[in-house]
Amino acid sequence: MNTMTIRNVSPEVAAALNEEKRRRGLSLNRTVLALIEESLGTNGNTRSNGLHRLAGTWNEEEFRQFEDAVAPFAEVDTELWR
């Protein structure tokens, strides 16, 4: 196991960590370790922002169709912008 020191922690981050510590019911050290593991995906859980539940997923064909459908939006009408 490695020991690390984190310096120059802002008061806002310190307060948020203390609140998270209280919420989780853990020590500050265990809370910080859990947050680091969660954010890096090293706790065995797959990292996710949760948007897949809202947006679903596309296969390659669906992605290609979407790209084709929005391609005209990238074109600039030079006559319109004179």
**DSSP letter assigned to residue 72:** G
Which residues lie below 8 Å from residue 26, measured CB to CB, with a gap of 6+? 34
pLDDT value at position 47?
A: 64
Q: Which of residues 79 and 9 earns the better pLDDT score?
A: 9
- List the single range of 12-16, 47-51, 66-70, 77-81 with lowest mean pLDDT: 47-51
The answer to whether residues 53 and 43 touch, using CB atoms and an 8 Å cutoff, is no
**pTM across the whole model:** 0.54
Chain centroid, CA 3 distance in Å: 26
Q: Which of residues 57 and 65 earns the better pLDDT score?
A: 65
Confidence band of 22 (pLDDT split at 50, 70, 90)? very high
pLDDT value at position 48?
A: 67
pLDDT (mean) for 57-72: 92
